[in-house]
A and B are shown apart, each in its own frame.
Chain A
Amino acid sequence: MAITVNGPVPDDRLGIVAAHEHLLYGLPGWHDDPAVLFDRPKVFDALLAALREFKAAGGNSLMDASGTLCGRDPEFLKALSAAAGINIIASCGLGAQELIPGYFGLPLAERALREQRRDGEPPLWIPDAGYIGGMLGAEMSDGMPMAGMVRSRACAGFVLCACSAQPASEIEEMAIRGAAMAARRHDVPLRLEGGAHAPRLFPLITAEGLAAGRVVIGHCDDARCLDSARDRELASQGAYVAYDHVGWQDGSPHAMPDAQRVQQVKDMVAAGYAERVLLSCGTVGCGLGVPASKHGVSHLLKDFVPRLSGAGVGDSALHTLLVENPRRLFAQL
Chain B
Amino acid sequence: MAHLNTVLGTLHPEEMGITAVHEHILFGPPGWEADPGAWFKMGKVFEKCYNDLMDFKLQGGATFIDASGIGSGRELDVHIKLASATGLHVVASTGFLGELFTAPHFHARDADYFETLFVHELTVGMGRTRVKAGVINAGGGAQPMTRLEAAQHRGAARAARKTGAAVMTHAINALDEQLAIFREEKLDPARIILGGCDTRLDLERDKRVAKAGCYVAYDHVGLESWSRMAHALPDQRRAELVKAMLDAGLGDRLIVSAGSSGWVLGQGEDHLSNVGNVLRYFVPRLAAAGVAEADVRRIFADNPKRVLPIQ
Contact = CB atoms under 8 A, between A and B. Distances in A.
Direct contact of A and B (CB under 8 A): yes
A33 B121 CA distance: 10
A68 interface: yes
Contact of B42 (A33, A100, A149): A149
Contacts of A185: none
A109 B103 contact: no
Nearest to A95: B104
A28 B117 contact: no
B37 A29 contact: no
Given A32-B71, A103-B31, A138-B36, A121 B101 contact: no
A207 interface: no
B37 A131 contact: yes
B226 A119 contact: yes
A117 B71 CA distance: 29
A138 B227 CA distance: 32
A26 B103 CA distance: 11
A151 B39 CA distance: 10
A316 B97 CA distance: 57
B70 interface: yes
Nearest to A37: B128
A246 B122 CA distance: 43
B47 interface: no
A41 interface: no
A289 B120 CA distance: 17
A145 B36 contact: yes
Contact of A101 (B30, B124, B226): B30
Nearest to A134: B37
A288 to B, nearest CB: 8
B39 A102 contact: no
B127 interface: yes
B266 interface: yes
Contacts of B162: none
A109 B36 CA distance: 22
B36 A32 contact: no
A110 B266 CA distance: 14
A271 interface: no
A168 interface: no
- Place the interface of chain A in its size category: 35 or more
Q: Which of A32, A35, A149 has the most CB of B within 10 A?
A: A32
Nearest to A151: B36
Contacts of B35: 103-104, 135, 145
A147 interface: yes
Nearest to A101: B31
A135 B37 contact: yes
Contact of B230 (A29, A114, A135, A149): A114
Interface in A88-130: 98-106, 109-110, 113-114, 117, 119-121, 123-125
Q: In which size bucket is the chain B interface?
A: 35 or more
A27 B38 CA distance: 21
B106 interface: yes
A101 to B, nearest CB: 3
A273 interface: no
Nearest to B28: A103
A159 B232 CA distance: 41
Contact of B100 (A68, A109, A125, A131): A109
Interface string B33-61: 11111111010000000000000000000
Nearest to B104: A27
A189 B73 CA distance: 34
B266 A125 contact: yes
Contacts of A117: 230
B267 interface: yes
B230 A32 contact: no
Contacts of B105: 26-30, 32-33, 289
A253 interface: no
Contacts of B230: 110, 113-114, 117, 119-120
A104 B232 CA distance: 23
B208 interface: no
A289 B99 CA distance: 19
Contacts of A124: 228, 267-268
Contacts of B71: 29, 32
Interface string B82-106: 0000000000000000011111111
A316 to B, nearest CB: 43
A69 interface: yes
A69 B34 contact: yes
Closest 10 CB pairs of A and B: A29-B103, A101-B31, A103-B31, A102-B29, A29-B105, A102-B100, A27-B105, A101-B30, A27-B104, A149-B39
15 contacts: A26-B105, A27-B103, A28-B104, A29-B30, A34-B117, A34-B124, A35-B120, A101-B31, A101-B34, A101-B104, A110-B230, A125-B267, A135-B37, A145-B36, A149-B42
Given A29-B105, A69-B31, A101-B29, 5 more contacts: A29-B106, A98-B107, A109-B100, A113-B230, A289-B105
Interface of A: 26-35, 37, 68-69, 98-106, 109-110, 113-114, 117, 119-121, 123-125, 131, 135, 138, 145, 147, 149, 151, 289
